[in-house]
Structure 1
C-alpha cells in the first residue's frame, strides 16, 4: 500500500471513540452488556470463516452490535466469506464496521532510508471493513450455523480456578478489600463468603489478575499512576476490559467492578481519540495472558 486516506483513518478513530463516550455518558459500559444467554451466548466474537477470535476494539464494536440488534450468534462473516461458503447476505442487511490495524512504509521514507542505510520507519493505520452476523445470512452450510452449546457453569468456574492456580502470582484470600500490589506482585481478594453471589468472587479475582498481567516481568504496562490520575484510570480501564474479555471466553458473564471510574474514563477518552483503541488492545493482550495461564501456558 503506497497511500492511506488520512481523513478516513482519523474519522474512524473519532467515530468509534464518540460511540464509546456516548455509551459511558449514558451509564452503559460497552464491555458489560445485558446478556440474554438464552438468546445469544456470552463469548468472544469470532469469524465464522477463519475461526479466528476478534480482538481489541472489535470486541466492543461487535458485542454492542449483537446486543443492539438482538442477534443469536457471536459469529461473523464478510460478504465475500458468506459467498465463498455457499451462502449469501440477505438483501437489505446492514453490516457492522470493524477495523484492522496495520503498518506501512511511505514511498518517500523507504527511499530516504535506503539512501541513509537504515531501517525505514513505518506508519500505523486503520483499515475498515464490514462484517455480517450469521443471523443476517442465508444458505450457509449446516456445520457453520450449528448452534454452539454454552459453557456449563461448573466448567466456567473450573477454568477460572485454573487461571488463578497457574498464574504464578502470589494470591491471598482475606481482608475486606480486593487489590493488586505491583510492588510485591501480590493479589488479595476477600473470602468467598463476603460475596453475595459466589461467581462474583471469580470475576473479582480475574479483575485483579488482569492488573497482575501488567507487571514489569509480564506485559510491562505503566502501573505507576496514583489514585485519581489519568495513568491510574487507564490501567483500571485495561483491567476492567481484560477481565470482561477473559470472563466471556471462559463462559462467565462480565460485570463492572468500578463504575465509579466512568468520569475518569470519560476524561481520558475525551482527551485522546486513540485512548480506547490502546486500552482495548492492551486488554486483549492481558486477557490472552490470563487464558494462557488457564491452559497451563506462560
Structure 2
C-alpha cells in the first residue's frame, strides 16, 4: 500500500536536513584565510618547517611539469604543514607505475583542475536557437602524494627532482636573477628610496641592493615590481587602474606578491614578506569572494611564467663596472611596493 501524500510530506518534514555541500572554492578560500589569520603567508617561505626541501615550485614527480595557480599554494602549504623534504608529487597510479606505492595510512594533498562543460539543456537551446552553447565552469579535485609519502619508487623520471638549492654567494648576488632581470628588457631603474612600477610610463624603479636590510630582498622586490610590469596592456593586460588602497589596487598587489614568490622559488631565492600592511585588505577580498584567490593565483602564475620565459633568451653582455641606471621622477601615480 502506497503512503498518502500527507504522510509523505510529514516524513519529509521529520527527516533531518542534509548539510549543504561545501564548494571547493569555499574550502580552498577558507584554508588560505585560516593561514593568513594565523600570520602565515602561504606564498612566502611555506617550506620553513620542511627540513631539506628544495626551494622550487611544486611539480609532478614523473612528468616534471610544474603545478600552477592555486595548486602552488595548496602544495606549498602541505610541504610546510607536514615537513616534507620534497617539492615533487605523484598520483596514486603514477606511484604504482613507477614500481612503488604510496605507504599505507598516508593521506594525499588536494589539487584542483578547472574545466568547463555544456549542460544538456544548454545544448538543446543552442540547437534550437542556432547559436553557440554556453559553458559552465567547474572544479575537479584530485589527490596527489609527496615523494616522501611513497616507497619503492624507481621509475624513470623520478631522479634529480629534489636536489638542494645551491647556496647563495657570499655577497648575495644571484647571477641567475641578475640575468633574468636584464633579459626581460624592462626599463629597470636603480636608485631612490622607494620601489614602484609606473604603468603610464612602463618602468620599474627599485633602490640599490645595499639599501636593503636583508640584501636578498632586493631580488624579491625587483620581481614584485616586474610582476606588476607584466600587467601592462602590451603584455598580460591586467586592470591596474585602481586607486591606492582600493580593492582593485589590493588585488593587483596580491598578484604581484605571489608572482614574485613563484619566480623566487624557481630561482632558489628565499624571500621574506614585505606586504603585511595589505593583510586586512586581502582578508576582506577573500571573505567577500570565494574565487578571488583562484583568480589572483592564476594571474600570478601567468606573470611568473612570462618573466621566466625570458630565461631562454641569450644572456646579454654585462654592463660596465659601476654602471647605474638613470633615475627619473615618476610623472604618474605608481604601483608602490
Determine if the alignment matches structure 1 residue 186 to structure 2 residue 209: no
CA distance in 1, matches of 2:117, 2:272: 38
CA distance in 1, matches of 2:162, 2:31: 30
Determine if the alignment matches structure 1 residue 235 to structure 2 residue 249: no
Of Structure 1 and Structure 2, the greater helix share is in 1
TM-score (norm: length of structure 1): 0.92
Q: Which residue of 1 aligns with 2:218?
A: 201
Aligned residue pair count? 290
- Give the C-alpha shift of residue 156 in structure 1: 8.4
Worse-superposed segment, 199-208 or 140-149: 140-149
Superposition pairs for residues 68-87 of structure 1, below 5 Å?
Answer: 68-87=81-100
Deviations 1:130-180 (A, max 9, x none): 001011111110652556323423598222112211223211111100000
Q: Of 273, 278, 290, which aligns to 1:261?
A: 278
Superposition pairs for residues 13-162 of structure 1, below 5 Å?
Answer: 13-33=25-45, 35-36=47-48, 39-141=52-154, 144=158, 148-152=162-166, 153=168, 157-162=174-179
SS in 1 for 2:174: helix
CA distance in 1, matches of 2:311, 2:221: 16
Determine if the alignment matches structure 1 residue 282 to structure 2 residue 299: yes
Deviations 1:180-214 (A, max 9, x none): 00111010001112112322111111110010000
CA distance in 2, matches of 1:70, 1:123: 38
**CA RMSD between the two structures:** 1.9
SS in 2 for 1:198: coil
Computing the radius of gyration over CA atoms, which structure comes out larger, 1 or 2?
2
CA distance in 2, matches of 1:74, 1:135: 9
TM-score (norm: length of structure 2): 0.82
CA distance in 1, matches of 2:47, 2:308: 21
Q: Which residue of 2 aligns with 1:217?
A: 234
Determine if the alignment matches structure 1 residue 12 to structure 2 residue 29: no
CA contact (8 A) 1:30 1:63 kept: yes
Unaligned runs of 5+ in 2: 1-19, 315-337
CA contact (8 A) 1:31 1:254 kept: no
CA contact (8 A) 2:217 2:271 kept: no
Relative to 1, partners in 2 of residues 1:88 and 1:268: Cα closer, same or farther, differing over 3 Å? same
CA contact (8 A) 1:13 1:274 kept: yes
